[in-house]
Structure 1
Amino acid sequence: MRYQHVMPFGTQVLDDGRVRFRLWAPGSEKVSLCIEQGAGELSLPMEAQPQGWFECITDRAGAGTRYRYRVSDEMRVPDPASRYNPGDVHQASEVVVPQSFTWTDTHWKGRPWEEVVLYELHVGTFSPEGTFKGVRDRLDYLVELGVTAIELMPVADFPGERNWGYDGVLLFAPDHRYGRPEDLKELIQSAHEKGLMVFLDVVYNHFGPEGNYLHLYAPPFFKDEHTPWGVAINYDAVHSRTVRDFYIHNVLYWLDEYRFDGLRLDAVHSILDDSSPDILDEIAEAVRNGPGQERHIHLVLENDNNEARYLGRPGRFDAQWNDDIHHALHVLLTGESGGYYRDYADNPMRHLVRCLTEGFAYQGETSLHRNNERRGTSSVHLPATAFVSMIQNHDQVGNRAFGERLSMLVDPRPLRAAISVMLLAPEIPLLFMGEEFGALTPFLFFCDFGPELAQAVTEGRRKEFARFPAFSDPAARNSIPDPGHPDTFQRSKLDWHSWAQPEHQSWFELYKTLLGIRREHLVPRLRGLEGGNSTVRVLGERSVAIEWRLGDGSRWTLLANLGKSAILDMAVPDAPLLFASEDDIAASLTTGTLPPWSVAWTLENTKNE
């Protein structure tokens, strides 16, 4: 089977072999197509069409042709809908024929949402090669671990040699440092053959600060407002229909042409759109009425506004990253209270329990970190599976000054307790690459911009930490790794040689065991799970018993003591012990005692009446 997503822009190889080139350039009076020919170029005029479009159909191009658009007498720009840019974002685009790749996974229909266990990875640092093939070579490892879905951090073409991916500017082109489009398709096809889903992180709230030329020839693409990362996208003003279509096609392109199983939409709270339906609703509708009718397609949001309205209804989004649960667990584990953690420092256990039983910790309460503004809406009606939980992710590790993982910050026993809560709670769990073997390599913030911008990023990065007491001294701030230095990137690569060492193997076996229990005992009971189906019994200041009624009526119970003092004279559920985070817990429970930093799970396999 061969797949192509047909779009109103970019290139399309027609049935007669000619290539159609289309560009939306309402800010230009004329546009030329410039085709590279050896050391020279062939310049062809593009026909002006209504509403700012330009088109050229020619037999002088084909698969592999490199081209740019001349939008002024001197300025040549890549195609904003380029499928591949082999020479980076400032250079020529390449004509790609999607039908040249033959898919053999036509039997693949995806997997239901309740089976999802996400594994977030950065292609450039996950393997020594830093390529799509490097990820593909470790798929068997991920299957053995027990995850069911890979989530790739953004791969859209970014400037320079290295980047987290959130500075992408060519949103249809996989970055050439990771491989060709065919290499990404091979990765996805191989994953499907092994029963793994593949998700992609996409950024629709801004473009990166270098290599975006749209403002030169399509100024209506933007609006006179700003996000924390740059000029806002025009989703709701004049000419916004074309802009909205650009992003809707980007969604469908990744799902149709690359057969991704899901998308994670980055920081949608920074999408400025007052229209109705808004762009998120339109994206969800396009997916559900398109590829979502043929196979399982999953849509996940990152939304700091905690807006429950996007979740829980057919045709909407499957889930949201729940930063609240991460923050509450982090405060419990580390005692940190700076930055956004201060919103959870008053009573982290209460915030954690609310996340586990109601979804958001903030459902309209005021946030100290956000200048006492109210944050969030009620989420108690949503099932636990409408939330993605984690104890680590790229943001929470990489936005630390030195990129420390929890394995560098927390003693093993408390960390095992937190892992045991996260992986066996009914929420959808997410792992960040390397956490499953207690990786001791940091994940630092890195990028590769031109000299002037690189210096500004380095200074800005260090200035961000000036408000923290540990970095009040300029010398301390200068110790923060330079994002633009190649060594910052190299230090962030996973050390796979350490995986075989006993202390790292013990972490791997813990994750593998927990995910096996989840797969066997919890996942089959999640279908039909409803919101508001849990009961809570407070055992102490940092201790709790939570019981969920699962979709089949079974009772799934958590006993958690996330403090330094034992809980005595505790009523223990009359149900088989399924898992304990430490060897001493089972014996202690027979006496009604829950030791410090202990987690136990029980299952009572009753049925609905």
Structure 2
Amino acid sequence: MTRFRIWAPKARKMTLCVNGKEHAMNREDSGFWHVDIKDLTQPVLYAYKIDGKGPFPDPESRFQPEGVHGRSQLWQDDHVWQDSDWQAPELKNAVIYELHVGTFSPQGTYAGVMTKLEHLVQLGVTHLELMPVAAFPGHHGWGYDGVSLYASHSQYGTPAELKQLIDACHQRGMAVILDVVYNHLGPDGNYLGLYGPCFSNRYKTPWGEAVNFDSAESDQVREFFIDNAMMWLRDYHFDGLRLDAIHEVYDFSAVHILEELQIRTEELTAITGRYYCLIAESSLNDPKIISGRASGGYGLAAQWLDDFHHSLHVLLTGEKHGYYLDYNGHKDIDKCLNHFYVYDGQYSPYRRRRHGRPAGNLPTQSFIASTQTHDQAGNRGEGERLCHLVNHENCQIAAALMLLSPFVPMLFQGEEWAASTPFLYFTDHTDPGLARAVREGRKRDYAFLSKKVPDPQAARTFARSVLKWPESTSGDHAKMLEWYKELIRLRRQYLNDIRKSRRSFRPAKQRKDLYIYDAGRIIVLVNIGSTSKSFADSRLARVPILLQNRPVNVEDDVLTLLPGTAAVMLTD
């Protein structure tokens, strides 16, 4: 006997369509409907009719083999886990690696990711972070317009293959974090609102209707999203979730949905004995998100620290468009290293208002730092990575400052070898009107950066974003890869020293483009300019150099750095 159960509080009649037959469903007092079916033949393909309309896929479907508009499949879970003794590495010691399943390998599948796990182990990665895998329309996309939140995207593989990937990561000592989107659903294939009042007309997001977390009937909506998070952690053995754009999650309930999600995650830990981390993407610069609940916060483990990326990006590129208008280079990096938020209450020229509040005494491991992410590359006109904007040596400088920072570092796929491929914005919408709107919107929004904004619907746009793995073993790509490996090794060795020191990032003897990153025992000298720079320092002239990308000349207490030099030094 198989029970099919669905929440549809406004429906007058619900019908289950399964394996070619229709069955009337029974209404419960709670707004749920159910029906029990005997002797189903595998594979079980089903959908629902609402008041005679449809059929529509199940919002809680575990697999959509026919795509997001097609029938749902009742998935039989037969994976035998091999990670019974698994405990994820602590986030404070993490090196995170963000990847997009569809472009990370030539196969564009979970199985394809598995073929590259040894590369990640050798690099020193402790946590993979998968961009969203919830089912979305078409063959390829970033995943942030997912519509079937419980189903793994069928083009990536089956639920069993996703579990095999996570199991394989655990066997190699790597945790896996999943990017989830709880602020909206995409427009193409979004049937959730037909079942109940799941969206709010009180708030709007940049991408569509906001989720109803605080209006009438919101209790069951909240449970739908929390249950989704618990499914990924409990059933798929993910070790954490990255919560997309929480500044667009609107909830004026006494207990915010993010706090409730953290509470439920802690309850799951009590059951499984495993620690799970919730990481926020937040532009609010509000420490409440990652402060403990005892002090009035939501208690999330960490948040992305965009201020670090933006400050470093402006220092190296000089760009001042969009939100980069707010940043001014080395002084902002110095503030970020010690106070986390560059904007903690000051006026923001970009926003034209005051922004943020002081972070207080939060630990440095509460912040995720990066020099590149899917957003920072993909939300440019031509998907340029940092290595397409600055030279090889300045990319090495960026890596040194990020990987030897006190924060938790995060790499974006291919960054470690300065991949030649862009990471473009790509979609595969089936609705011609939506496809046209997305295409025209990208051209309009990014015309100031490029006159050649690629068509996101073109198959070539997706294909151009697929990593070229053979290049990682030759020339400057191989040198960059070795540089990253050495920096990660040094980070592991000296992280405690970096974190317990007061840090500074300042010009060396007022020399233009020559900077000293001082983290106590670890000193990093960098020359971001196009000419050699010299300065006198009797102390630094006598300390050993642990790692350098170009030779530092020392003569009579004067240090000379060639253009693009990064040198890591160890003081007593």
TM-score range, shorter chain: over 0.9
2:430 matched to 1:457? no
Residue correspondence of structure 1 range 372-521 to structure 2 within 5 A = 372-449=352-429, 450-466=431-447, 468=448, 476=451, 479-521=452-494
Instruction: Provide closer, same or farther for how the CA distance between residues 536 and 129 of structure 1 changes in structure 2, counting only shifts above 3 A.
Output: closer
For 1:547 and 1:294, the matched residues in 2 are separated by 39
Q: Which amino acid in 2 is paired with 1:47?
A: N
Contact (CA 8 Å) 1:575, 1:602: kept in 2 or not?
Answer: no
Greater shift, 498-507 or 596-605, is seen at 596-605
Quick check: 1:205–1:270 contact (8 Å CA) kept in 2? yes
Residue by residue, what CA displacement relative to the aligned partner does 1:147-200 show, whole Å, maximum 9, x if unpaired? 111110000000111110001001111000000000000000001001111111
1:286 aligns with 2:264: yes
Is residue 185 of structure 1 aligned with residue 163 of structure 2? Answer: yes
Cα distance in 2, alignment partners of residues 21 and 589 from structure 1:
81
Query: 1:242-391 maps to which residues of 2 (within 5 A)?
Result: 242-291=220-269, 294-313=273-292, 316-344=299-327, 347-370=328-351, 372-391=352-371
Q: Distance in 1 between matches of 2:330 and 2:188?
A: 43
SS state of the match for residue 241, structure 1? Answer: helix
CA contact (8 A) 1:558 1:599 kept: yes
Query: Could you tell me whether the CA contact under 8 Å between 2:331 and 2:506 is conserved in 1?
Result: no
Aligned to 2:549: 582
Which residue in the other structure is 1:6 paired with?
none
Match 1:116 to one of 87, 94, 97: 94
How many angstroms apart in 1 are the aligned matches of 2:471 and 2:364?
A: 35
Aligned equivalents of 1:184 and 1:82: distance in 2?
Answer: 16
Check whether the contact 1:390–1:429 (CA below 8 A) recurs between aligned residues.
yes
Task: Check the 8 A contact 1:349/1:542 in 2, yes or no.
Answer: no
Aligned residues: 563
CA distance in 2, matches of 1:221, 1:363: 32
Counterpart selection for 1:34 from 17, 20, 44: 17
1:546-593: CA deviation from partner (whole Å, max 9, x where unpaired): 5446xxxxx444444444562522364598545344332363794255
One-letter amino acid of the structure 2 residue matched with residue 443 of structure 1: F
SS of aligned partner of 1:248: helix
Aligned residue in 2 for 1:81: 60
The residue aligned with 1:591 is 558
Instruction: Please list every run of 5 or more consecutive structure 1 residues that lacks an aligned counterpart in the other structure.
Output: 1-17, 550-554
SS in 2 for 1:337: coil
Residue 588 and residue 429 in structure 1: after superposition, are their counterparts in 2 closer, same or farther (change >3 A)?
A: farther
Counterparts of 2:523 and 2:360, CA distance in 1: 19
- C-alpha deviations, 1:483-531, integer Å up to 9, x for none? 0011111111011122222221111111111111122332x667xx57x
Using the alignment, how far apart are the partners of 1:510 and 1:588 within structure 2? 26
Which residue identity lines up with residue 245 of structure 2 in the other structure?
Answer: A
Q: Matched residues in 2 for 1:287 and 1:582: separation? A: 43
Instruction: Please give the alpha-carbon distance, in whole angstroms, between the structure 2 residues aligned to 1:226 and 1:537.
Output: 42
The range that moved more, 303-312 or 594-603, is: 594-603
Mapped contact 1:63–1:96 kept (Cα < 8 A): no
Q: Is the 8 A contact 1:570 1:594 kept in 2?
A: no
Distance 2:43 2:557 in 1: 70
* Structure 2 CA distance for aligned equivalents of residues 576 and 188 of structure 1: 44
The C-alpha deviation readout for 1:418-453, integer Å capped at 9, x for no partner, is: 111111111111111111111111111000112111
Counterpart of 1:231, as a letter, is E
**Which whole-Å CA distance do the structure 2 matches of 1:567 and 1:267 have between them?**
44
Task: List alignment gaps of at least 5 residues for structure 2.
Answer: none
Moved more, 231-240 or 305-314: 305-314
Q: Secondary structure at the match of 2:21?
A: strand
What is the distance in 2 between the residues matched to 1:71 and 1:241? Answer: 21
Residue by residue over 1:250-274, the C-alpha shift from the partner in whole angstroms, topping out at 9 and shown as x without a partner, is 1111010000111110000011111
1:577 to 1:283, Cα distance in 2 relative to 1, 3 A = farther
Q: Is the 8 A contact 1:234 1:240 kept in 2?
A: yes
Aligned partner of 2:35 in structure 1 is: 56
The reply to whether residue 97 of structure 1 matches residue 82 of structure 2 is no
Higher mean Cα deviation, 580-589 or 423-432?
580-589
SS at structure 1 position matched to 2:161: helix
> Secondary structure of the residue that 1:50 maps to in structure 2?
coil
2:254 and 2:544 map into 1 onto residues whose CA distance is 50
Distance 1:108 1:576 in 2: 42
**Higher mean C-alpha displacement, 102-111 vs 594-603:** 594-603
CA 1:413–1:455: 2 relative to 1, 3 Å: same
Contact persistence 2:552–2:559 (CA under 8 A): no
Task: Give the secondary-structure state (helix, strand or coil) at the position aligned to 1:392.
Answer: coil
Distance change >3 Å, CA 316–CA 590, structure 1 → 2: farther
- Residue 68 of structure 1 corresponds to 47
**Matched residues in 2 for 1:353 and 1:150: separation?**
29
What's the CA shift string for 1:297-320, capped at 9, x where partnerless?
121110011111122437822211
| 2:192–2:198 Cα contact (<8 Å) kept | no
Classify the secondary structure of the residue corresponding to 1:289: helix
Deviation of the 1:465 alpha carbon: 2.1
Q: What SS does the corresponding residue of 1:309 show, helix, strand or coil?
A: helix
2:483 partner SS? helix
Which amino acid letter does the alignment assign opposite residue 34 of structure 2? E
| Larger CA deviation: 121-130 vs 283-292 | 283-292
| TM-score normalised by length of structure 2 | 0.93
- After TM superposition, list the pairs within 5 Å mapping 1:482-561 onto structure 2: 482-522=455-495, 533-534=502-503, 539=508, 540=510, 543-548=514-519, 555-561=521-527
| AA matched with 1:582 | N
2:282–2:304 Cα contact (<8 Å) kept: yes
Secondary structure of the residue aligned to 1:402 is coil
Q: Verify the 8 A CA contact 1:82 1:173 in the aligned structure 2.
A: yes
Asked whether the equivalents of residues 385 and 426 of structure 1 are also in contact (C-alpha less than 8 Å), the reply is yes
Alignment check: 8 A CA contact 1:63 1:97 kept: no
Q: How does 1:126-145 map to 2 (within 5 A)?
A: 126-145=104-123
Q: Counterpart of 1:290 in 2: which secondary structure? A: helix
- Structure 2 SS opposite 1:51: coil
Query: In the alignment, what sits opposite 1:4?
Result: none
